Each structure stands twice: as C-alpha cells, then as structure tokens.
C-alpha cells in the first residue's frame, strides 16, 4: 500500500475491518483480535450492538483490544465462562496462498493463537502489502520465556539464516515475556514444519506462524474488499 496516502490506507483498513463484521451473527461468542485494521471491526461491532441490538460476546487477544472493546460496549467473557468460540477476527503481518500467516508484530501472538485454536473459524483482515508468495520477509515474532532467553536465542539463530534480535531491552508482552524477531527472509517455504521445529526448542513459548487456522482473508483494496477463501473454509 506504499503508493497510497495515509488517509487512503486508513479508509481501506476501515472498509476491510467493517466488512469482516458481516461474518458475525447474533448469539455468537467471538475472539477479538489486535491491530490497526481490527480496530475498525471493534468499532463496527460496537455500532451494531448500540444501533441494531446485536447480541454477541467476545474474548480479547490483548489488553489494548480489551480496553477498546469495553469502550465500545462489547460484552466480554473469560475462559472460565467459555470453552470455545464461534469465530475469531484478527489481523496478519503476512499471509501466503495457503492462508498460512505470520502474526505477532503487535506482540499478542500467544493470546492470539490460544483464541485462534479455540475458534470454529477464523477471518483475517489485511491489506495487499501483507500478501506474499513465501512467508518470512516480515521478521517472525517468537515469544520466549525470560529465563535463559539468551540461550533460546542462540538455538533459534542456529536455524535462522538472518539475525535473531530481541525486541527492545525492556519490551515484554502482556504475559511478561520477551519477543525475539527472527529475520528468515522470504524463505519459509514449509511454515508447518518450521512452526513445529521452533516450538520444540526449550524456552520458546509460542511462534508467530499460524498454519491451517485462517479460513477467509478480507483483503483491503482501493477498488473495494476482496474475499480470499480457503478451499476447505469452515464458514
């Protein structure tokens, strides 16, 4: 989206975020993602609750999302009250033709993955700059345990051809964990295998590869939103 003005980019994000709400039906319990495009989904959900009487509840994936959802009057539940979700709407940093994703640029990847894996279906909102042939140009976020993070970093570095960098000396997620950004470059041709390999390393809490979770991508474009649906989509 580099050729568009900031205003045009925001308008496209808003259109995609609002369009994703068409998948939300009365009575659903939904996962509410994190990011600059999902913000517009939250605003639209709030509008539908106030103006249309939409009856939904949600589980947020970050403290920022929780705050905005409360401001918009979206009823929230927790995992004590809820064991599964009807739908999750979330953003992505990259997606490929199989709708495998890189997520976690906003630091919420652990909560986002818990929500995604607990949902009956997943809708992703994104713009055209996030669509790639091969994942990895966006640095892969990996949430790690604070204990021995330096050793975890070394083990990740052994399988990453680019630098593996801690995201700021004081940066931690909402869960209190550091994030390592692994600069693989556009070379993650087997995201399923890479996700499994990284998750097998002691100290890795979660990996920002979301494989076989997304069903539909609502793609923001200047000519309107495009729906990219996986062949075996669950909705």
Which range, of 10-19, 61-70, 104-113, 179-188, averages the lowest pLDDT?
A: 10-19
Give me the pLDDT at residue 202, please: 98
Give the DSSP letter string of 80-115. Answer: TT-S-BSEEEEE-SEE-TT--EE--TTS-HHHHHHH
Give me the pLDDT at residue 26, please: 98
pLDDT at 1 over 60: no
Instruction: Over range 48-63, report the average pLDDT.
Output: 97
Catalytic residues: 112
Backbone angles phi, psi at 51, to 5 degrees: -95, -25
Which range, of 5-9, 133-137, 231-235, averages the lowest pLDDT?
A: 5-9
Instruction: Over range 17-23, report the average pLDDT.
Output: 96
Residues 139-166: tens digit of each pLDDT: 999 999 999 999 999 999 999 999 999 9
Instruction: Over range 109-135, report the average pLDDT.
Output: 96
pLDDT at 18 over 70: yes
What length does the chain have?
235
> Is 60 in contact with 38 (CB distance < 8 Å)?
no
pLDDT at 52 over 60: yes
Instruction: Over range 57-79, report the average pLDDT.
Output: 97
Q: How confident is the model at residue 224 (pLDDT cuts 50, 70, 90)?
A: confident
Residue that has been written with the tokens 């070379």 in this structure: 187
Give me the pLDDT at residue 4, please: 79
Q: State the greatest distance between any 2 C-alpha atoms of the chain, in Å, as a whole number.
A: 54
* C-alpha closest to that of 16 among 98, 128, 116: 128
98 vs 8: CA distance, rounded Å: 28
CATH of domain 140-204: 3.30.70.260
Q: How confident is the model at residue 2 (pLDDT cuts 50, 70, 90)?
A: low
Give the DSSP letter string of 184-227. Answer: --S-BS-HHHHHHHHHTSTTEEEESEE-S---EEEEE-TT--EE
Instruction: Over range 105-126, report the average pLDDT.
Output: 97
Task: Calculate what percentage of the chain has a pLDDT beyond 70.
Answer: 99
Domain ranges of the chain: 6-131+212-227, 140-204
74 vs 180: CA distance, rounded Å: 33
pLDDT at 106 over 90: yes
Look up residue 176 and give its DSSP letter.
Answer: S
CATH of domain 6-131+212-227: 3.40.50.1360
């Amino acid at each position: 989206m580099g050729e568009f003005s900031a205003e045009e980019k925001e308008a496209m994000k808003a259109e995609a975020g609002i369009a994703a709400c068409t998948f939300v039906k009365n009575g659903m319990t939904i996962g509410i993602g994190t990011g600059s495009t999902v913000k517009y989904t939250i605003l639209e959900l709030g509008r539908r609750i106030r103006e249309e009487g939409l009856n939904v509840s949600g589980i947020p994936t970050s403290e920022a999302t929780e705050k905005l959802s409360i401001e918009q009057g979206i009823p929230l539940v927790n995992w004590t009250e809820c064991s599964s979700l009807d739908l999750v709407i979330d953003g992505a940093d990259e997606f490929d033709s199989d709708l495998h994703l890189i997520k976690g640029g906003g630091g919420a990847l652990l909560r986002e993955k818990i929500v995604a894996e607990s949902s009956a279906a997943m809708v992703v909102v994104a713009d055209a700059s996030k669509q790639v042939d091969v994942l990895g140009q966006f640095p892969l976020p990996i949430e790690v345990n604070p204990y021995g993070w330096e050793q975890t970093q070394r083990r990740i570095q052994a399988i990453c051809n680019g630098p593996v960098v801690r995201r700021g000396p004081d940066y931690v997620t909402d869960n209190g964990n550091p994030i390592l950004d692994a600069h693989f470059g556009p070379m993650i041709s087997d995201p399923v295998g890479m996700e499994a390999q990284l998750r097998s390393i002691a100290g890795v809490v979660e990996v920002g590869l979301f494989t076989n979770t997304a069903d539909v991508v609502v793609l923001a474009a200047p000519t309107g939103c495009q729906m990219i649906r996986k062949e075996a989509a669950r909705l």
